[in-house]
Structure 1
Amino acid sequence: MTNNFKQTDIGLIPEDWDIIRAEALFNRVSDGTHDTPKKLTDGYPLVTSKYIKNGTIDISEVDYFISKEDYLEVNQRSRVDKYDILFSMIGTIGEVAIIKNDPVFSIKNIGLFKSNSFELSEYCFYWFQSPIAKVYINNSVGGSTQKYIPLFKLRDFPIALPKMEERKKIAHVLSKIQQAIETQEQLIKTTQELKKALMQKLFTEGLNGEPQKQSALGGEIGLIPESWEVVEIKNCVEETQTRNPSLLPNKYIKYIDVSSVSNQSFSVVDHQYVQGIEAPGRARKVVKTDDIIFATIRPTLKRIAKIKSFYDDEYCSTAFCILRCKSKVLDHEFLFQYIRTDFFIERIGKLQSGASYPAVRDDNVKQMLIPLPQLEEQKEIARILSSLDSKIEFHSNNKIQLQDLFKTLLNQLMTGQIRVKDIEFDIDEEWESIPSGKVN
């Protein structure tokens, strides 16, 4: 036995902590209605488990409304109040949210932990997300077709409970990290919105304030500056090569499959490292640094990436169209930015064929029209947009690091591996104005 720890049903916890079942800790543990009130186009929202995401409930997404009579009837049994915790019981199980404002909705098939203490609710909100709590959840799930956790398992939920001051500090630390994550998310969202607006402006107005003209060839790409041309991509790219890696059976290759490309970061995030003799049959196309690869299977998913030097002279799937720009005509970064625009994707999406695996051909991609400014203007437009990509990447990396920190501390704080009881924090005194719950 580790010093200052004791063994419990859920594992080792500090000696001065208790294990208390949820039913003994909260004012009441219940769930939402099991009935199906009549659906209306307007009225009171009826919230189900699928609307609990990332610690909140997005009422704006709810599309099921009920009458005032049904709302009052449901709330006789399962009224939701400020500081209650909601817990998803069906489908995606274990998502939780704290109610921080007076709610005006009803719930269906959602666990309800009723509390009039923000301090208790906030601590338990994080406890329910902890690895040790997830073990209990996973062991409590039933159902074959649709997974669920029964109400009696929620009532019997074990909660490791320090004294109130330590609970406050644990919740404070985790909430500060969560706030930092949300800040990064907002910065990412704001930068993405700025970039989208800039793309629309730069690709239609350019940099020099020129008069605009309707683009040639039927005006397919809309207004562009007068000095710009409209060309097919194939006129601005070089021929690429194929090679059979099995001809060098013992040589190891890096192979980029469609699943290797992220449509969030627009980069290659993974690859297979195999000997030539074991290479997949699709491993035939040879990529070079600064090539752009565009997935022709389900092209509207935007699996597009620019090849870094790490993958120079390696292989990608035949499900990619490789675009290798003629450097004196078309800047690769300009093309990389343009083909990711919603407008380009919408146009190429109309060329898809096939029901199960909608796809386009390489020729379809290369015959697409693009606007073409002078090379220097291309490079400047690309530089502006790339700088925003760098900012998005910076905040995305910060978010990932903070999420990793949150997971690590969540586990260590909730098992007492890290103690914060003797550390002084400048904690908001919100709890002092809130009636205490069943636990001091």
Structure 2
Amino acid sequence: MKFRWETEFKETEIGEIPKDWEIRKLGELLKSLESGKRPKGGALAHNPNGILSIGGENINWDGSLDLSECLRFDENFYKKLKKGRIEQGDILLVKDGATIGKLAYIKEAPEGKAMVNEHVFLLKSNNSKTYSRFLFYFLFSEIGQQQIESSISGSAQGGINKSIKDNILVFYPPLPEQSRIATVLSYFDDLIEVKKRQNEILEKTAMAIFKSWFIDFEPFKDGEFVYNEELGKEIPKGWAVKRLGEVVKIESGGSAPQKEEYFIGGKNPFVRVKHLTNYPCVEEADFINDEAVEQYNLKLYNEGSIIFQRSGESLSFGRVNILPFNAYIVNHLAVIPNLPSNKLLMEFLFFTLKNILIELIEERSGTALPYIRISDIEKKEILLPPPHILQSFHSLVEPLFQKIILNQKQIMTLRKIRDTLLPLLVFGKLRIEKV
């Protein structure tokens, strides 16, 4: 791979570019700009075995997709669509709502077939004029984001309309260079995606072991069982039934610093609801300074602590994450601290807590869920095996959790490198002569 620093630039209406680059309107580089729709009937038309319909809530700020809560509709509806079908190389842009401006690049259509709903634009590149992944990275850059933001019109949350084809201007290097830029940046994104999938598999593996041991009791079926009235089922003899609050102390996070001055020069990670993921680990954090920590009397929690959402938008309820770094947390989150006294229990508590949150959410199904009281969680009865069994489980799954945390740290490093390179490459300051 061969790089060189560019020294000759020219001014344009959207910034400085290399002398041999051009500026093009977004519309000149697109084959089409489409938006999807959803079938009449809304939830009644939802088919859990149908085709994925991607909305703004399924697109993350880092450009990735989160399809865990994606709606699905009947394949016949998908077949009748003239617009909105997702194909490899498409760019998704949220055009209205709370997540307006979010972008995603489609390396390959999820599950082979997918569509967008009416809140998402589908940008289909003209492959003879632009390299679609380069176009995505440009739109994802600071200049691209500024232009997308300035395209929002209307009252309340506003919206983005098809005038972006004429209003958004794109830095336009020669096609071979577009390909080289996209190749380098996508190398980091592809590595990030691989590590995310590894973490998903590692968590599912650990969950399968947890279910086998503590739900189905498969390793203990040859032993003696006794009927437990509190749980209403037979359990292995010698196992205890306790309230979660008797086993571990759950704590609430602290107040969120509000003033911008508390973020200036910030080096202390501060985790909010938006940082929770459907993967086992928190991926990012805001950073606050020492003054904010002191002013709000915030408590630092250790790497390996378990956090979950207890208030806020109901969409994120049920997410349980591990902290891959020491951090402070917001009061919408609760935490089981990773303390020496809890070491043996952490992996067991991670999955136990996930099951408890699912139960609480199901109990309140159909009603507003503004918060989950910590006391409600601590009152939940859990089945606690003897210490030697907990030790065996811990020894078996702790390496999986350690690998998850290591992967997450590598993801954060890869993302930092990509974010450093992206403006240098997309704006032509650092030129790639050979890949």
TM bracket, shorter-chain basis: 0.5 to 0.7
My pick for the range that moved more, 96-105 or 207-216, is 96-105
CA 160–378 in structure 1, closer or farther in 2 if over 3 Å, else same: same
**Distance in structure 2 (CA, Å) of the matches to 1:106 and 1:31:** 9
CA 315–194 in structure 1, closer or farther in 2 if over 3 Å, else same: closer
Percent identity between matched residues is 18
CA contact (8 A) 1:140 1:153 kept: yes
Residue identity matched to 1:180: L
**Distance in structure 1 (CA, Å) of the matches to 2:19 and 2:237:** 77
**Distance in structure 2 (CA, Å) of the matches to 1:315 and 1:81:** 39
* 1:170-249 superposed matches below 5 A: 170-204=181-215, 205=217, 210-211=222-223, 213-214=225-226, 216-220=228-232, 222=233, 224-232=235-243
- Does residue 405 (structure 1) correspond to residue 408 (structure 2)? The answer is no
> How many Å apart are 1:60 and its aligned residue?
10
Match of 1:333 among 343, 346, 354: 343
Give the aligned partner of residue 408 of structure 2: 396
- Does residue 95 (structure 1) correspond to residue 103 (structure 2)? The answer is yes
**Distance in structure 2 (CA, Å) of the matches to 1:291 and 1:94:** 30
Secondary structure at 1:336's aligned position in 2? helix
Give the aligned partner of residue 133 of structure 1: 144
CA contact (8 A) 2:54 2:114 kept: no
Secondary structure at 2:136's aligned position in 1? helix
Per-residue Cα deviation, 1:208-242 (whole angstroms, up to 9, x for no partner)? 7752525523335x55433433345566679x9xx
Match of 2:34 among 14, 31, 51: 31
CA 372–278 in structure 1, closer or farther in 2 if over 3 Å, else same: same
**Distance in structure 1 (CA, Å) of the matches to 2:363 and 2:40:** 42
Give the aligned partner of residue 163 of structure 1: 174
Secondary structure at 1:416's aligned position in 2? coil
Give the aligned partner of residue 371 of structure 1: 383
> How many Å apart are 1:420 and its aligned residue?
0.6
CA 10–304 in structure 1, closer or farther in 2 if over 3 Å, else same: closer
**Distance in structure 2 (CA, Å) of the matches to 1:84 and 1:71:** 20
Per-residue Cα deviation, 1:395-423 (whole angstroms, up to 9, x for no partner)? 111112112222222211101122112x2
The count of residues paired between Structure 1 and Structure 2 equals 387
Secondary structure at 1:31's aligned position in 2? strand
Give the aligned partner of residue 148 of structure 1: 159
> How many Å apart are 1:266 and its aligned residue?
8.2
Per-residue Cα deviation, 1:275-331 (whole angstroms, up to 9, x for no partner)? 999667xx8xx999999898895596577989x9x89xx9998x9798999x9xxx6
> How many Å apart are 1:13 and its aligned residue?
1.2
**Distance in structure 2 (CA, Å) of the matches to 1:369 and 1:52:** 34
**Distance in structure 1 (CA, Å) of the matches to 2:123 and 2:238:** 64
> How many Å apart are 1:141 and its aligned residue?
1.6
Secondary structure at 2:157's aligned position in 1? coil
Residue identity matched to 1:336: M
> How many Å apart are 1:361 and its aligned residue?
6.2
**Distance in structure 1 (CA, Å) of the matches to 2:223 and 2:346:** 25
- For CA contacts below 8 A with separation 6 or more, give which structure has more relative contact order: 2
CA contact (8 A) 1:18 1:162 kept: yes
In structure 2, runs of 5+ residues without a counterpart are: 1-5, 252-267
Match of 1:71 among 77, 80, 86: 80
CA 203–274 in structure 1, closer or farther in 2 if over 3 Å, else same: farther
Secondary structure at 1:12's aligned position in 2? strand
Residue identity matched to 2:101: I
Structure with the greater alpha carbon radius of gyration? 1
Residue identity matched to 2:157: Q
Secondary structure at 2:170's aligned position in 1? strand
Give the aligned partner of residue 21 of structure 2: 17
Per-residue Cα deviation, 1:129-181 (whole angstroms, up to 9, x for no partner)? 22221121112221222322231222342121222221121111122222111
Q: TM-score, normalised by structure 2?
A: 0.66
CA contact (8 A) 2:87 2:106 kept: no
Aligned residues: CA RMSD? 5.4
Per-residue Cα deviation, 1:318-345 (whole angstroms, up to 9, x for no partner)? x9798999x9xxx623443333323344
CA contact (8 A) 1:19 1:161 kept: yes
Residue identity matched to 1:50: G
Secondary structure at 2:425's aligned position in 1? helix
CA 211–366 in structure 1, closer or farther in 2 if over 3 Å, else same: same
